[in-house]
Amino acid sequence: MLFVFMLGRAGTQYVLLGVGADAWIAQLIGLFFAVPLLLILARLVRLLPGKDLFQMLTHSFGRVMAYFISLLYFVYFLALAATARTQVVFVQAASLPNTPLLVLLLLFFGAAVYLARSGVLPVGKWSVLAACVLGGIGVLLTALAVSNLRLENILPMGTNSGTALMHGGHRFLVSPLGEAVVLLAFAGNLKREANPYKLFLFGALAVTLFLILSFLRDLSILGMAGMSRFRFAPFHAAGAIAVGNLGNRVDILVTISALLSGFTMAAICLLAAARALRCVIPQWATHRLVIPAAVLALGIVFVSFSGFVERLPWFDVYLRYASAVQFVIPAVMWLVAELKGFRRGV
């Protein structure tokens, strides 16, 4: 789930992290920055086995404060689900330009709702299948692109200053690595013998390496000029690959990858949002709260398409305030759990 979720958050648009061709270096720095956060998330799972994020909040802050913080996470998870609009816009631009965007959004979120309502275990099983398909597509695209790779397109390396690389690493830390906090919403479903450290650290490492290899492959095909010019660089990079009688149609693999990762990511976020809302409305079953969450997420999508709102620097704002839900609150929960465990002699 973590692997597919983070790939879905990375989307079909390469955020060059403000450092151009050195984005892969910034990604490695971001992974290094993320290690303390991932260790905190894993330690929470180890200290509070059988509890999910919202039970952890109650344990740490009390029931009343947990209500308000759960609402904060509810809004956060909805906002993450709404970012799946990027994949829908990509599919429309790449394959279905004559299909109204509203129709595609309704189909996309309808499928995500169906998966989210099925529960954590089916979502987990689906994620295993999705991860295998996404990994296979990545390997296949790389194998097909061998004759198109140009080493000179990725040179020179390390031309950005250390400060710029640090800023780029921070961007990658916040999105997608820091968003691993979503997985705490399902921590109660982990078996007690499961190793949370392997879950978070290996998952983040696998995603980072996958994104770096994909970035370097597409950069070596398009060059920095192409990566900066095209809105959906992976699609155009795949379009440059000609394979026998298939011509340039291997770009359909990028469309499949975008749909699969985006749809699964949206389902995970909607299920997490429904669980957050259930902390506030315990009388309602989680599966009944998925549809209201999806309607609100769609509302965020439609509002974000308005001209004025779309021009606002949302990602810069997100970088400033995401640390509260990604790091500050989990860190406080960890300190409280450690203190209570120490008092009990655990």
316-344 pLDDT per residue, tens:
788 888 889 999 999 999 999 999 877 76
Q: State the pLDDT at residue 13.
A: 55
Would you place residue 68 in the very low, low, confident or very high pLDDT band (cuts 50, 70, 90)? very high
Q: Is the pLDDT of residue 346 over 70?
A: no
Q: Is the pLDDT of residue 248 over 60?
A: no
Q: What single-letter amino acid sits at 117?
A: R
**Alpha carbons 211 and 207: distance in angstroms, whole number:** 6
**Could you write out the DSSP letters of every residue in 16-79?**
-TTSGGGHHHHHHHHHHHHHHHHHHHHHHHHHSTT--HHHHHHHHH-HHHHHHHHHHHHHHHHH
Query: pTM score, two decimals?
Result: 0.94
5-44 pLDDT per residue, tens:
999 988 765 556 778 889 999 999 999 999 999 999 999 9
Q: State the pLDDT at residue 16.
A: 62
Token pair for 153: 């397109």
Whether the Cβ atoms of residue 77 and residue 272 lie closer than 8 Å to each other: yes
Which of 21, 327, 281, 285 lies closest to 177 in space, CA to CA? Answer: 327
The string over 307-324, giving b where at least 16 C-beta atoms fall within 10 Å of a residue's C-beta and e elsewhere, is eeeeeeeeeeebbeebbe
Whether the Cβ atoms of residue 322 and residue 73 lie closer than 8 Å to each other: no
Q: Is the pLDDT of residue 247 over 70?
A: no
**Alpha carbons 331 and 334: distance in angstroms, whole number:** 5
Token pair for 208: 């980072």
Omega before residue 292 within 30° of 0, cis: no
- 2-343 CATH: 1.10.4160.10
Whether the Cβ atoms of residue 116 and residue 270 lie closer than 8 Å to each other: yes
Q: State the pLDDT at residue 316.
A: 77
Q: State the pLDDT at residue 303.
A: 82
Q: How many CB atoms lie within 10 A of CB 282?
A: 8
Q: What single-letter amino acid sits at 281?
A: I
Q: Which of 101-110, 148-157, 193-202, 302-311 has the lowest mean pLDDT?
A: 302-311
What mean pLDDT do residues 279-303 have?
90
**Alpha carbons 78 and 274: distance in angstroms, whole number:** 9
